[in-house]
Amino acid sequence: MTTFYDVFNGDADGICALHQLRLEMPRASQLITGVKREIALVERVNASAGDELTVLDVSFARNAAAVTKALTAGASCRYFDHHYAGEIPAHPRLRAVIDTAPDVCTSLLVDRELDGRRRVWAVVAAFGDNLGAAAARAAAPLHLALHQLAQLQELGECINYNAYGNSVDDLNYHPADLYESISGYADPFAFIIDEPVFEILRASRADDLYHAGELTPEAVNDRRAVYVMPDAPWSRRVNGSFANRLASQHPARAHAILIWRAGGFSVSVRAPLAAPRGADALCRQFDSGGGREGAAGIDFLPEGELGRFARAFEQAYS
Ligand SMILES: [Mn+2]
């Protein structure tokens, strides 16, 4: 018997990519997901011959060994992503659609695959990944009113917000539960109006952003700003939304957000929106770093490497 595995990043892009696919091709599947920083998800799959994996919005580089293992066991795999991929093996049962262009997200890749049939969810996802221009371009043929676009943007930002944390204990909802709740709605506007989950996310995000707004930057100039956030659940939840908001307010500036954790920091980097390059290359100079050109992070930066990070950040955006 075939088991279907849907493996997806817990953020808006991962959830909306899966939602688009399952609206078109419904199937009962095992959901494998986690907080946004949990990237090595395919290793949680124990696949047998004939099983089918769909993998969405997690770096191929971090999952290559597990994908190879599943293929060797006789499973097949469809992979959509826009993060740094490394080498992609050729295999008759692997189909990888990977595009690391800075104005693409996984849901836009899935949208291409589906000839735009669930476009509105790709728009939500692109807003969630802070790709406002790409979201607006994708939305053009839908002829939405401005206030509707704003609603989709807020929905994308709220779903994205829900994925941030050290573990699911920090989150409002486990991303698998949030996906299940969204999966009942083909129309995002119905979700916004009818689903109490949305109101809870919106209120929690507003509250966390209010806290973040009271922080002052450690270092700031025209090109760069560095913020340090306390070791607290609200910082871990809001740092992504906060970074995206700073990036939108200061499009010529690069941002680094550091959150204290035992012995060091977790780090989010946003390249300037006006020139969305270099974040991935910067973060990959550190052991647990990775991401994409415009937005990347370091899972754990030991305190002793703070100086090296500060110099690398300055050099990348001088
Ligand atoms: Mn994404």
Taking alpha carbons only, the member of 107, 98, 45, 33 closest to residue 76 is 45
Rounded Cα distance, 36 and 13, in Å: 10
The tokens for 112 are 């291409």
What three-state secondary structure class fits 25? coil
Rounded Cα distance, 256 and 283, in Å: 11
Rounded Cα distance, 113 and 121, in Å: 14
Q: How far is the CA of 11 from the centre of ligand 1 (A)?
A: 7
**So what's the pLDDT on residue 110?**
98
Rounded Cα distance, 127 and 142, in Å: 15
User: Does the predicted TM-score (pTM) go above 0.85?
Assistant: yes
**So what's the pLDDT on residue 292?**
87
- Listed in sequence order, the DSSP H helices in the chain are 12-24, 60-72, 106-113, 119-128, 132-139, 146-161, 175-183, 188-194, 196-212, 233-249, 279-283, 306-316
Q: How far is the CA of 103 from the centre of ligand 1 (A)?
A: 11
Q: How confident is the model at residue 176 (pLDDT cuts 50, 70, 90)?
A: very high
**So what's the pLDDT on residue 1?**
87
* Cβ atoms of 179 and 18 closer than 8 Å: yes
Q: How far is the CA of 129 from the centre of ligand 1 (A)?
A: 6
Q: How far is the CA of 36 from the centre of ligand 1 (A)?
A: 10
Tell me the torsion sign for CA atoms 72, 76, 77, 78. Answer: positive
Q: How confident is the model at residue 88 (pLDDT cuts 50, 70, 90)?
A: very high
Q: How far is the CA of 279 from the centre of ligand 1 (A)?
A: 14
What three-state secondary structure class fits 153? helix
Q: Give residue-wise pLDDT tens across range 91-103.
A: 999 999 999 998 9
Q: How far is the CA of 138 from the centre of ligand 1 (A)?
A: 15
Rounded Cα distance, 123 and 141, in Å: 11
Q: Give residue-wise pLDDT tens across range 4-63.
A: 999 999 999 999 999 999 999 999 999 999 999 899 999 999 999 999 999 999 999 999
Q: How confident is the model at residue 230 (pLDDT cuts 50, 70, 90)?
A: very high
* Residue 3 predicted with pLDDT over 90: yes
Q: How far is the CA of 74 from the centre of ligand 1 (A)?
A: 28
Q: How far is the CA of 30 from the centre of ligand 1 (A)?
A: 21
Q: How far is the CA of 267 from the centre of ligand 1 (A)?
A: 17
Q: How far is the CA of 78 from the centre of ligand 1 (A)?
A: 16
Q: How confident is the model at residue 271 (pLDDT cuts 50, 70, 90)?
A: very high
The alpha carbon of residue 173 and the mean position of all alpha carbons in its chain are separated, in whole angstroms, by 16
Return the percentage of the chain with pLDDT > 70, whole number: 100
Q: How far is the CA of 242 from the centre of ligand 1 (A)?
A: 17
Q: How far is the CA of 13 from the centre of ligand 1 (A)?
A: 5
Average pLDDT value over all residues in the chain: 96
* Cβ atoms of 42 and 55 closer than 8 Å: yes
Q: Is 277 exposed, middle or buried (0-12, 13-18, 19+ CB in 10 A)?
A: middle
**DSSP class of 56:** E
* CATH fold for domain 219-316: Diaminopimelate Epimerase; Chain A, domain 1 (3.10.310)
For 4-203, give the CATH class: alpha beta
**So what's the pLDDT on residue 60?**
97
CA max distance for the chain: 59
**So what's the pLDDT on residue 152?**
98
**So what's the pLDDT on residue 291?**
87
Q: How confident is the model at residue 300 (pLDDT cuts 50, 70, 90)?
A: very high
* Residue 253 predicted with pLDDT over 90: yes
* Residue 312 predicted with pLDDT over 90: yes
Q: Give residue-wise pLDDT tens across range 54-84.
A: 999 999 999 999 999 999 999 999 999 999 8
The tokens for 130 are 């802070």
b/e map 159-187, b = 16+ CB within 10 Å = bbbbbbbbebeebbbbbbbbbebbeebee
Residue 144 CA: distances (Å) to CA of 16, 69, 196, 234: 19, 45, 24, 34
Q: How far is the CA of 304 from the centre of ligand 1 (A)?
A: 30
Q: How far is the CA of 1 from the centre of ligand 1 (A)?
A: 32
Q: How confident is the model at residue 235 (pLDDT cuts 50, 70, 90)?
A: very high
Q: Which residues make beta-bridge pairs with 95?
A: 78
Q: How far is the CA of 257 from the centre of ligand 1 (A)?
A: 19
Q: Where are the domains of the chain?
A: 4-203, 219-316
Q: How far is the CA of 7 from the centre of ligand 1 (A)?
A: 13
